[in-house]
Structure 1
Amino acid sequence: MTRSLGIFALAILALQAPEAASGQSACNVDALPMIPDVDYLGVRPAEEPVSHCSVEGVIGGKIHFELLLPEDWNGKFVMGGGGGFVGSVMNTSLMFGSLQSGYATVGTDTGHQGHPADAGWARNDLEALVNFGHLAVHRTAVTAKALTNEYYGQEISRSYFTGCSRGGGQAIMSALRYPEDFDAVAAGAYAVDWTGIAVQATQINQAMYPDPNDIEQAVVGPEAQALVETSYLAACDALDGLEDSILNDPRTCTFDVGSLQCEAGETENCLSTEEVAAIKVVYDGPKDADGNSLYYGFPFGGETAEGGWSRWLTGGMKYQDDDASFQEGVGSGGFEEPVSPSAFFSFGNGIMQNFVYHDPDWTYDNFEFSTYEEDASAAAETLNATNPDLSAYRKRGGKMLLYSGWSDNAQSGLAMVGYYEDVLDHDPSARDDIRLFMMPGVEHCFGGPGPSWVNFLAEIDAWAEKGDAPDQITAYWLDEQAQPVGGRPVCAYPQVAKYDGQGDPRDPSSFSCRPDN
């Protein structure tokens, strides 16, 4: 049996404080309110990781969600974001122990089903694109908050969103389009400029796989990647006062990859002309025919990492690891992964074929970008969250914590810095409510040689509750039992954590936040 409830009742439910509330409802479908356009697919009690009620449902026949309602509720709500093209119900707030901490929490599939690297669902389906772009997160948030209020018989005190990668983009998009949905958001390694990412990925694919039908091995392989990494580290690792294979700010490293190009007769410990050209596409970013920049490149970092170049940018079918996860904290939903030599091969082609040109036969072979901005304008209007004007969100008291790894090879840290600087250029006072934390040596969302574990849910909760914008946070390394084994401060941009010259380099007290110069 399903029970339905519709969207027009949501605002009333969200604002209505039940009188004489007697505690939370029973965990069964008959105890839940009827909302038009919402069908309950399953309501059941569960005991792991803590006692809670699980509510699975679908909004508008397409937007699936799962709402988890803990027995010991802390009065707050958090929505967790997804990854890639989503395609199954994802809630990455669970990585931060949201349910164990007493949060009512929800995730969504954003209105379609499929592997997070497959975008075929979007082709010639405007409704699916709008749901994915912004509407599904909004409708899920409004629905879930209304159900939470009804279930516990009292109003939610704070509402948050945490997400990384696609989830980071969802956080920023929500603040821009639906500023009332969340009191604070944590947006990591954000995917907000889908049409820009497509240009970046397409030109990298053109450089790494000149023949799109030959995907066995990229032009740049593991040996070349290792040579580049060891070379720039030899030149730049000590610039921040500590030789630890971590660049505090890779922008300060001016190493020239061209210096590794083989001279006449050389065959070892050097790069071919083709390899140098392909590597420069990664670092310099995509260009038009006149050499003008079209999007950000990647800074130094992650060339040999497990979650670095080989997973995202280069790869090759001969190096495929069947056990590799798509993204930390993001599963496949049980769907088969598309045949692809790298994540960017999937994302570049997926966006172009299904978001922009709606043509499954589109190929990057001989493609140039003279009409691309116009061609991609409709997709950009729906999908991109690049507007630096966050005044509506800030006006209602919203807080935003941005973060990115400097060694992220999925979403360039330069893009995150660029967006933040655009926000401050638009309104310098935005720094009161929006802070950026760039994490040295950290890969996409998590991992890498730098300390990458931060409970960003706890950070935004403390900010919202106390009202004090964080000047620094502490990031930790974790052991195999997920226990902290040292940490370092991460400073609010543009400051960086500088080693004080003595003390344990894994002790946060050995560092202090200072200007990056």
Structure 2
Amino acid sequence: MNKGRLFLMKALMLAIAVTALVGFKYASEDKKNRNVDNIPDLPDVNITSVTKEDAMAPHYKVAGIIGEKVKFELLLPDDWNGKFVFGGGGGYVGSVVNVALGYKALEKGYATVGTDTGHEGANAIDGRWAQGDLEAIVNFGHMAVHRTTVVSKAIIEAFYAQKIDYSYFVGCSRGGGQAMMEAQRYPDDFDGIAAGAPAYDWTMGLGMGMVHNMINMYPDPNNLDEPLVSVDDLKLIEDAYLEMCDELDGIKDGILNDPRLCDFDVASLLCDGEKKEDCLSQEQINALKAIYEGPKDKDGSMFYGFPFGGETHKDGWFKWITGGLNNVDAQATFHQGIENDSSDEFPLPPNFQHAFGTHFMKFFVYQDSTWTYEDFNYDTFRDDALLVGKTLNATSPDLSKFRANGGKLLMYSGWSDTAITSLGTIGYYEDVINFDETAADDVKLFMMPGVLHCAGGDGPWYVNWIDEIDNWVANDKDPDQITVYFIDEQMKPAGSRLLCPYPEAAQYDGEGDTRDVKSFGCN
């Protein structure tokens, strides 16, 4: 048995052994204000500070550590609305992150919490902390969010001396994966969950999928200066498929309503002879087809490929799939405001998929910091990643326990997501419905045309997902239609369109303003 598999077998044993709460110490010196004395002593929790804050809305900030490593920050508003929302993290996390604050959770009166998931990292694309740390892998996989939820609920109810009316989780990317894990593994934790662009399949979707893309963009792992496909090549591809398919939805706007309906073959751009500016080489065609189709081994498809979309956007393919050390701006930022600081210890990668994929292989699967994808064997990977997948993957289609508790799951994904393929998100949703067709009553998926990873892109992307899940759970308002907003450079609404529950899609009426939701219907 190789070193990585032995290590991960031990991790599974640890996952079984770790309990939700064990032992506690209270260390805060600030117990002078109203309700602060009500914060309880909980097992295995060290409250490191309780402070009065005014930012966003008047509140108390309770900071603490669960066990020895899981840091959290719980915000308790003066004007509490009786509800709790957990804000998910991003990437490999590594610091306390709470995306619920971006939806004005605190201003709306929610008690809200975020966690670092039990480790510190140089940035959100840093996975080095996982090597040799069994507890950190289990915490990151699922335990930290669950334990933070249990602790937060206990503090909230003691602080306000009343029960929580409704509990929600909202997250995107890694936060979306955390959301999926909660629904599957801890179905009692939340009444409603909003999961965007979920990183739910770490072994096949992120590890295998991303390394597969890097093998095709950077065949030599020791030469990361320039990708096989340039920015100009990507523009050639995007221009070609838009010319063929842009107006399939009745609007010429550079946005594909459903890229699967575009019957464009990238091989049509093959050069007749030597490589020129207006065509692609056979090597480039092969690499692009591999990325659009997804990784395969001797048994067939390993995961979904990427649909057309995001090829020329600065936060699309360039940021996630192509890039190149000669082209990457050292001041580039990771999604959701997490800085990607480079250093001698953590050199800037050519793109984000390279960082995520190679770090996953090195520090999670193989436990070997010298691993590279040179001569990588696809055919052994299913076995190599089996054990770590038991801890990290949230791929079960069985949501019966979550639904039996009245739980509602609201999923969303940008069609042009170049980080986590939207086809994988659709695939998971279809697995849920195929497992139990009645799940469609409690699980909804909304596909967002022209939208990149979690936010941004050429399409309208802003939805307050806390409002949407709250309306569904607390107000019993079925989200059969959702208004989504274009956002301008000043982060102000600049028009709207309609989102429809998959497999329905928004249909333009052919006459109205294309940036007015009233011009669209679902079909």
- Please say whether Structure 1 and Structure 2 have the same fold, judged by a TM-score greater than 0.5: yes
Q: TM-score, normalised by structure 2?
A: 0.92
Report the RMSD for the aligned CA atoms in angstroms. 1.8
1:467-482 equivalent positions in 2, closer than 5 A: 467-482=476-491
2:458 aligns to what SS in structure 1? Answer: coil
Q: 2:134 aligns with which of 126, 129, 138?
A: 126
Q: What's 1:155 paired with? A: 163
Q: What's 1:346 paired with? A: 355
Contact 2:331 2:341 in 1 (8 A): no
Contact 2:349 2:355 in 1 (8 A): yes
Q: Distance in 1 between matches of 2:294 and 2:360?
A: 18
Q: What's 2:423 paired with? A: 414
Contact 1:287 1:293 in 2 (8 A): yes
Q: Return the offset for 1:323.
A: 2.6
Matched to 1:34, the amino acid is: D
Q: Distance in 1 between matches of 2:422 and 2:347?
A: 27
Q: 1:139 aligns with which of 144, 147, 155?
A: 147
1:57 aligns with 2:64: yes
Matched to 2:324, the amino acid is: G
Q: What's 2:174 paired with? A: 166
Q: What's 1:237 paired with? A: 246
Q: Return the offset for 1:380.
A: 0.5
Matched to 2:245, the amino acid is: C
1:369 aligns with 2:378: yes
Q: What's 1:394 paired with? A: 403
Contact 2:35 2:159 in 1 (8 A): no
Contact 1:202 1:349 in 2 (8 A): yes
Q: Return the offset for 1:322.
A: 2.4
CA pair 38-345 structure 1, distance change in 2 beyond 3 A: same
Q: Runs in 1 of length 4+ with deviation above 6 angstroms?
A: 333-336
Aligned residues: 495
1:117 aligns with 2:131: no
1:81 aligns with 2:88: yes
2:490 aligns to what SS in structure 1? Answer: coil
Q: Distance in 2 between matches of 1:399 and 1:331?
A: 33
Q: Return the offset for 1:50.
A: 1.1
Q: 1:323 aligns with which of 331, 334, 339?
A: 331
Q: Distance in 2 between matches of 1:244 and 1:278?
A: 28
Q: Distance in 2 between matches of 1:150 and 1:46?
A: 19
Q: What's 2:102 paired with? A: 95
Contact 1:442 1:449 in 2 (8 A): yes
1:295-327 CA distances to partner (integer Å, 9 max, x unpaired)?
110000000112110111111011112232111
1:466 aligns to what SS in structure 2? Answer: coil
1:280 aligns with 2:289: yes
Q: Return the offset for 1:205.
A: 0.9
Q: Distance in 2 between matches of 1:267 and 1:331?
A: 38
CA pair 192-334 structure 1, distance change in 2 beyond 3 A: same
1:329-361 CA distances to partner (integer Å, 9 max, x unpaired)?
444599985421011111111111111111111
Contact 2:275 2:281 in 1 (8 A): no
Segment of structure 1 superposing worse, 193-202 or 398-407: 193-202
Q: Return the offset for 1:464.
A: 0.3
Contact 2:508 2:514 in 1 (8 A): yes
1:68 aligns with 2:82: no
CA pair 266-316 structure 1, distance change in 2 beyond 3 A: closer
1:143 aligns to what SS in structure 2? Answer: helix
1:418 aligns to what SS in structure 2? Answer: helix
1:84-142 CA distances to partner (integer Å, 9 max, x unpaired)?
11100010011111011000000000000002101111112221111000000000011
CA pair 222-83 structure 1, distance change in 2 beyond 3 A: same
CA pair 79-334 structure 1, distance change in 2 beyond 3 A: farther
1:121-168 CA distances to partner (integer Å, 9 max, x unpaired)?
111222111100000000001101111111111111100000000000
1:438-484 CA distances to partner (integer Å, 9 max, x unpaired)?
00000000001100000000000000012232111011012233221
Q: Return the offset for 1:418.
A: 0.3
1:7 aligns with 2:21: yes
Q: What's 1:429 paired with? A: 438
Q: 2:225 aligns with which of 208, 216, 222?
A: 216
Q: What's 1:41 paired with? A: 48
Q: Distance in 1 between matches of 2:441 and 2:60?
A: 38
Matched to 2:91, the amino acid is: G
1:159-181 CA distances to partner (integer Å, 9 max, x unpaired)?
00000000001001001111110
Matched to 2:285, the amino acid is: V
Q: Distance in 1 between matches of 2:355 and 2:437?
A: 38
1:488 aligns with 2:497: yes
2:335 aligns to what SS in structure 1? Answer: coil
Q: Return the offset for 1:266.
A: 5.4
Q: What's 1:385 paired with? A: 394
1:199-251 CA distances to partner (integer Å, 9 max, x unpaired)?
11111111111111111111111111111111100111011111110000000
Contact 1:208 1:220 in 2 (8 A): yes
Contact 2:23 2:45 in 1 (8 A): no
Matched to 2:138, the amino acid is: V
Matched to 2:521, the amino acid is: S
Q: Distance in 1 between matches of 2:32 and 2:146?
A: 25
Q: What's 2:278 paired with? A: 269
1:129 aligns to what SS in structure 2? Answer: helix
Q: Distance in 2 between matches of 1:337 and 1:399?
A: 40
1:369-416 CA distances to partner (integer Å, 9 max, x unpaired)?
222111111100000000000000000000000000000001101001
1:371 aligns to what SS in structure 2? Answer: helix
CA pair 277-320 structure 1, distance change in 2 beyond 3 A: same
Q: What's 2:200 paired with? A: 192
Q: Distance in 2 between matches of 1:334 and 1:216?
A: 16
Q: TM-score, normalised by structure 1?
A: 0.93
Q: Percent identity?
A: 52
Q: 2:236 aligns with which of 220, 227, 230?
A: 227
